[in-house]
Structures are given as C-alpha cells and as structure tokens.
Amino acid sequence: MKDKSKDLRQGIRLSIIEGVFAQIYGSLSFIGTVFITKFAIMLNATPFHFSVLMSIGAFSQLSQPLGAIITRKLESRKKKTVLYAVIGRFMTLLYPVIPFIFDSNTAVYLFLTISFFSSTILAISGNMWIAWISDLIPLRFRGRFFSNRSVYLTVAAVLTGYIFGFFLDLFDSAEGGVVENIKNSFSIGKYFIKDDLPYAFIVIFGIAAVAGLYGLKILNKQPELPKEIETESSVALLFSPFKDRNYRKLIFFGCWWMLAIGIGAPFWQPFMITNLKMSMLELQIYGTFATAGSLLMLRPWGRFIDRYGNKPAMIIAIILGSINPFIWLFATPDSYWFLFIEAVLSGVMWSGANVIITNFVLAVAPQGKQQVYSGMFSAVSSLAMVVTMLLSGTFLPGAMDIFGLHLVSEQVLFGLTSVLRLTAIIPLIWIYEHNAKTMMVVLSRLNTFAKVKIIQYSQRLFK
C-alpha cells in the first residue's frame, strides 16, 4: 500500500511537469492554435483548406482505438506511448521547411498531409496515456487531478502564447500598431520584416519540437501500474463497449454534442484575423481572458464533478457553451471589445467541458476497460465533428441580415452552432451515472450554500 501511495504522488508530480512541456509543444503546433492558423494563412489557405485542417484534428481521433489494439497483449503501455509520441512530435520539424521548397498550392496540401499523420500518431499515443494515467489515479479524486493538472498547463499555454505571439507579431505587425511602434524603437527592429515570416516559424516549430521531445524524457520516468493482458481478439475488444447500453447512450450524446460543436469550428480564429483584423497580440489577450476564466474555475469544476457527478456538470457546461457563439453575432471590425468578456465565459465553459468529457467516459467504463472505452468514444464522436466541419467549409452560407444584424458567412454558422449546442442536453439526460446527483438536488444544495455564505458575509459586515 505504501508503494502504491509513493507511485501515486510521484505520478502526479511527474505528470504535471511533463504536461507543462507537452502544453508548450501543443500551444505552438497543435491544430487549432493561433500559430498553426497563422502558418496556414501564410500558405494562402482558403476556407475549404481550414475546414479540412480542423477536420484532420478531429478525424485523427479515429485512430485512438488502435492504441487499445497495440497494447492489448502487453503488460506495459509506457514504451509504446513514448515511442508514438516521439514520432508524432518529431514530424513538427517538417512544417517550417515547406514554404522554402514548394509553391503555395503544393505547400498547403503537404502541410495538411503532415498534419494528418502527426495528429493520427499522437492520437494513438494519447489513448495509451489516458489508460495509463486512469490506472494510476483512483476514480474518487480523478476529477480534481485532471483539473489541478490543467491549471499548470493553462498557465504554460498563456506564457507560451504571449511570448511567441509577440515574437510573430514582430514580423507581421500592423502599420502604426503597438507592436510596430515597439519594434521601431529598437535598431534591431529593422530585421523583423514580413518577408522573413517563414524564418519565424523555423524558430517556433523548432522550439515546439524540442519542448515536446524533452517532455517525453520526463514522461518515461512516470510510474505505471501493471496492466492486465487482454486475451480477446482485436475486433471483439474494439466492439465490446457497444454491448454496454449505457455506453451507447454516452456515444450518442458525444456525437450529438460534437456535431453541434463542429458547425463553424474551422472559422473562429480566421474570422478574428481576417474579418475583425485582430493582431496576434490581441488574439493572445483574448486567450488570456479565456485562460483567466479557465484558471478561476478549473478547481471548482473538479470539486463539483467529484461531489455531484459529471452529468450535472455537463448540463451547466452545455448551457454556457450555447451562450458563447451567440455573442459573436454582434462582433464587427469596429466593435469587438465585448469578445474579451465572452472569452472569460468561454474559458469557464471549456475548462469544465474538457475535464468532464474525459472523466465521464472513465466513470462509465468498467475497471480495466477504460482504454478501449475512451478510444472508441473519441473516434466515433470525433467523426461526427468531422462531418459538420467539412460541411461548414464546403457549403459556407452567404451573408444574412436578421433582426437588424448583418451577419457574414461565419457568423451565420456561429448562430447555428449556438442553437444546436443547447439541444445536446436531450441525449445527456438519458445517460446513467452512478452516484451522480440530479439537477434538482444540485440546485437545492447550491441555493443552501449561497444562503449560508450570504448570512456569514452579512454577519462579518455588520459585526
């Protein structure tokens, strides 16, 4: 028992340290980050290319179940997890070479191809890791573990974004802007010109790869509990979760939610850059507000999940998630300041939703089946997201005037995703979660808690 406790403490500590380096890597090179978006824009990516790019990120999750197949007859997941992560992260070094060798039309498709293979391999590694860590961390405080770990990772993401966002803006800053004025105040500023932007990405992706590969050295030191060897066939293993009726309900919810999320998903950052004309610095400020909301609520989300369950927590996250896109309908190039307030709400929502979804699947899965349950959930639900992301780029709607608002194509999609996200509550209520409290119980307890806090505050105020 003592050894298990020691392994647990060491595992938590190393997971946080390794996670920081993984986050630096991800913040600079994962699909969906501002740096990948900016790189794609530099390669003259079209709306269709962006829909394909974002679809690749989701489509790559289809490979997650392969992680369960690869490790089913192994007693340890560690070596395979690290090996696949090394290959996937090393491929990032190929990105900055592309614009120096190929023309823009060829370059963007080569970029998409490399992104697909890298994301696919990393998805396999990620599936192995989630099973590894779920074996190590007991269910009773797994929610708090994921939320606490996310706090450190979020701080790393913010610092990484600011440092390298500012660095990138030095090469591509607007005339008369803050970054341009700072650059011109130093003699070295003359060397940061837009034509040299491809060289900036050599630095960014180079540092991403170094950080990512060093993090894997730390991951290799993380303890691992012995793994049971699965004797069933690969096909039987992959489809075994679907015999679980409750899991089928969870999958149905996941598909519904991801279909709604996928609408307009490829266009958030391109809309900010091309339509609202926001600089990289402004995007980082937006990200900081989102991070503030995330940091503010990560630990409360973890405590809420462990106390009341994933199901009521997800209902709250869905309601918040339907509000966020609606706010974007009012954004124009002349007025978008309120998006920084929306960013806080977005950070609160996504910090909860990401932890909840991860923990929800692990809570529903039987002991020893977490890896295949998690892999199949990610694969099937991500495929649903791919469908609406590709449809968003292929059949981009025209501009529309509604209720006195002039909505560009992207905003029409934002409005649609807002409505459809809310409907995801319907399949969610059909899922059974052991020990989860009902929303009536949650609201009653929160109401009681609020009254107690108000009374305590009043007593201190008038003492």
- Residue that the structure tokens 């929306």 belong to: 342
Beta bridge partners of 332: 335
pLDDT in tens, 397-439: 888 888 778 898 899 999 999 999 999 999 999 998 877 788 8
**pLDDT at 8 > cutoff 80:** no
Radius of gyration of the chain (CA): 23
What is the CB neighbour count within 10 angstroms for residue 42?
Answer: 20
Nearest Cα residue to 270 out of 257, 283, 258: 283
Q: Provide the 8-state DSSP code for 244.
A: -
Nearest Cα residue to 15 out of 158, 218, 302: 218
- Rounded CA-CA distance 394/52 in Å is 9
In a 13 Å sphere around the CA of 99, the CA atoms on its Cβ side amount to 16
Write down the mean pLDDT value for the chain.
84
Residue type for position 121: I
Distances, alpha carbon 362 to alpha carbons 230, 368, 375, 397, in Å:
18, 10, 11, 38
Tokens of 325: 């896109």
- Rounded CA-CA distance 107/101 in Å is 8
- Rounded CA-CA distance 72/70 in Å is 6
pLDDT at 253: 95
Q: Measured over all CA atoms, what is the biggest interatomic distance in the chain, rounded to whole angstroms?
A: 74
The stretch 1-29 carries a mean pLDDT of 82
pLDDT at 359: 85
Least confident of 17-31, 158-172, 326-340: 158-172
Give the Cα-Cα-Cα angle 105, 117, 347 (nearest 5 degrees).
90
Specify whether the CB–CB gap between 393 and 270 falls below 8 A.
no
- 2-432 folds as Growth Hormone; Chain: A; (1.20.1250)
**pLDDT at 2 > cutoff 50:** no
Tokens of 434: 């052991």
Residue type for position 208: A
pLDDT at 238: 82
pLDDT at 48: 83
Percent of the chain with pLDDT over 70: 90
The stretch 431-458 carries a mean pLDDT of 74
pLDDT at 64: 83
What residue spans define the domains of the chain? 2-432
Distances, alpha carbon 185 to alpha carbons 14, 170, 358, in Å:
43, 12, 47
Calculate the CA 432 to chain-centre distance.
26
The stretch 257-268 carries a mean pLDDT of 89
pLDDT in tens, 158-197: 889 888 988 887 776 555 455 555 656 555 555 567 778 8
The stretch 93-115 carries a mean pLDDT of 91
**pLDDT at 374 > cutoff 70:** yes
Distances, alpha carbon 352 to alpha carbons 109, 130, 316, 327, 429, in Å:
35, 18, 9, 20, 18
Of 43 and 281, the one with more pLDDT = 43
What is the CB neighbour count within 10 angstroms for residue 183?
Answer: 19
